A and B are shown apart, each in its own frame.
Chain A
Amino acid sequence: MIEVDHLTKRYGSFTAVDDASFRVESGQVLGFLGSNGAGKTSTMRILTCFLPLSEGAARVAGFDVTTESMEVRKRIGYLPEHPPLYDDMNVKDYVDFCAQIKSVKPGDRASAVSSAIDRTGLGERRTQIIGTLSKGYRQRVGLAQALVHNPEVLVLDEPTIGLDPAQIKDVRELIKGLAGDHTVILSTHLLPEVSMTCQAVAIINDGRIRLTDTVEHLGQRHRRLEISVSGASGEAIEAQLSDLPGVRHVSMSDVGFTVDTELAEQTREALKGTAETNGWTVDELEDQPLTLEEIFLRVISEEAQVS
């Protein structure tokens, strides 16, 4: 549904997005993770045809963002970081205006507007002037604007920022409800949000995509193994464990060793082999998935070490 191919965006001499490639399947929710200034907003602005790309290509719903921009715009709903609201309009008029400029058929407009308002929980505020709404409600009006033409693809730039916990929960429920019928990209730097709402993750840092995977896969592959090993000195074992494929970090604990790996299957296989050749006795005590936070921080800190 969304295909990004070697996408590069430069602002003068500054490269905001560097050779990024990823894809989002139809009906999937992709969490776009990155620290501030990593290039999330630039990527999203390119996908929504707000900014031109410098190199590469991006296709949304089968249309190229550069050459078929109008077709892309009809099929995409976009909630920018700051919801683009007209403070002097009331909620209903605003959503109605958005429906008009997003080519909703005149006959379907009234129902599209009221369904967008109801879905975002704005029913009681429909006649309130937007300028008088609180931050949370403004965010919801922004969402209603993105949803009103029932787009195939939704691009949400930090949709839960500035909301209170109850509202965050509502918005997450809403996004979960969108999965299946809609393809969603949502950017965030709240990691639990991704594990709760997304099926896929892309981590971006310094303009480069560091990792793309499904959440399920990540949990299977990135794991922390607690093992006890006997048969050699601690240092020797630690050194050998560090050389196993996929292993990122090894530390000694009270009961044995803690091994963080990003290729759990291979690491386990190789560990078996190494144990046999060295005559170790290996007991696996615990096997936990790494939290997204740990994965994210590792990906980002590795980056810092390399550069």
Chain B
Amino acid sequence: MRNVLAVFKKEMGSYLHSPIAYVLTLIFLILTGYFFQSAMSMLSDYSSAYPAYMQQYEQMRGMGPPPPPPNVDVHVISRTYGTMIIILLFLVPMLTMRTYAEEQRMGTMELLMTSPITPMETLLGKFFGALGIFTAIVALTLIYPILITVYADAGSRPDWGALFATYLGLFLFGAACLSIGIFASSLTENQIIAAAMSFALLLMLFVIGVSGQRQANFSFGQFLLYLSITGHMDKFQRGVIAVKDLVYYISMASFMLFVTNRVLEAKRWRQ
């Protein structure tokens, strides 16, 4: 446990001392900020056009569904966090690419492997370090719903219950993605290859969800949707914390950590 904490602190330090974390945070906030404000301006356009849509609907005497009323959760929150998940798929590989690749290139693996610390302790320290930075970066986006809550009228504030579920979902989603990124990093001593590999894996897990929605065979489609790493975020965003989704993210993260631990143990014997 003490060893895990030592590695965790070292990892946090190296994130904070290198420019990587700051640059990534900046880019992430610019992108999400842009999507947030564009969703906000869409909402405001829609709100001002809504009476006209409603009038049109009444003139048609109830033909078709009525236009949905403007709603901050539907039009801003779900849109912003939906795109945020995609941006995170790009962010995670850049956070994790150096975890093991750097140690292997610099020869510091030799220090870790000859110290009385197990590969699992190192791995957990690194995993929680990456998760800590990830959480800190994602937590900065709380500014968006806070801004709405502060400036919106009483009736049109976002649903903080759903937001809580969304952030819990993002945390678990991050844990699963980071464990995949760390796995990729343990396979190589080249950071670029590590980043490319983990991005490819994450993209694949994202794409099977998209193809799951288009499957003619319903149960096969559901199966693909279940495997998809982004598919499990929908419910969280709607404010539902389902066991199925918790199990998916937690077991994905545990499985990838287990495999990574195996890779690290095998390293010793492969030389």
Contact = CB atoms under 8 A, between A and B. Distances in A.
A48 B118 CA distance: 14
B14 A88 contact: yes
Contact of A89 (B2, B13, B107, B111): B13
Interface string A62-102: 00000000100110101010101111110001000110111
Nearest to B109: A84
B110 A84 contact: yes
Nearest to B16: A88
Contact of A50 (B2, B114, B116): B114
A84 B107 contact: yes
Given A84-B107, A86-B10, A101 B112 contact: yes
User: Per DSSP, are chain B's interface residues mostly helix, strand or loop, or mixed?
Assistant: helix
A3 B68 CA distance: 81
A50 B113 contact: yes
B3 interface: yes
Given A84-B110, A86-B14, A88-B18, A52 B2 contact: no
B117 interface: yes
B10 A102 contact: no
A98 B111 contact: yes
Contacts of B14: 86, 88-89
Contacts of B118: 70
Interface string A95-123: 00110111100100000000000000000
Interface centre among B14, B17, B116 (most CB of A within 10 A): B116
Contact of A49 (B3, B9, B114): B114
Contacts of B107: 80, 82, 84
Contacts of A50: 110, 113-114, 268
A101 B7 contact: yes
Contacts of A88: 13-14, 17-18
B19 to A, nearest CB: 10
A100 B114 CA distance: 13
B13 A98 contact: no
B115 A102 contact: yes
A51 B113 CA distance: 9
B254 interface: no
A98 B115 contact: yes
B269 interface: yes
B108 interface: yes
A73 B110 contact: no
Nearest to B14: A88
Among A52, A85, A86, max chain B CB count under 10 A is at A86
Contacts of A52: 268-269
B52 interface: no
B23 interface: no
A124 to B, nearest CB: 21
A42 to B, nearest CB: 10
A78 B9 CA distance: 23
Contacts of B112: 101
Given A50-B110, A89-B14, A102 B271 contact: no
A100 B3 CA distance: 7
B254 to A, nearest CB: 24
Given A11-B271, A145-B111, A74 B116 contact: yes
A28 B16 CA distance: 44
A90 B64 CA distance: 68
Interface string B1-30: 011001101100110011000000000000
Contacts of B2: 100, 106
Contacts of B117: 101
A131 B106 CA distance: 12
Which of B109, B110, B271 has the most chain A CB atoms closer than 10 A to its own CB? B110
A97 B268 contact: no
A11 B268 CA distance: 12
A51 B114 CA distance: 9
B269 A101 contact: no
Contact of A73 (B6, B106, B108, B114): B114
Interface of B: 2-3, 6-7, 9-10, 13-14, 17-18, 106-118, 268-269, 271
Interface of A: 11, 45, 48-52, 70, 73-74, 76, 78, 80, 82, 84-89, 93, 97-98, 100-103, 106, 145
Pairs A-B, 5 closest by C-beta atoms: A100-B6, A84-B111, A73-B116, A84-B108, A48-B114
13 contacts: A50-B113, A52-B269, A73-B114, A73-B115, A73-B116, A74-B116, A80-B107, A84-B110, A86-B14, A97-B10, A102-B115, A102-B116, A145-B111
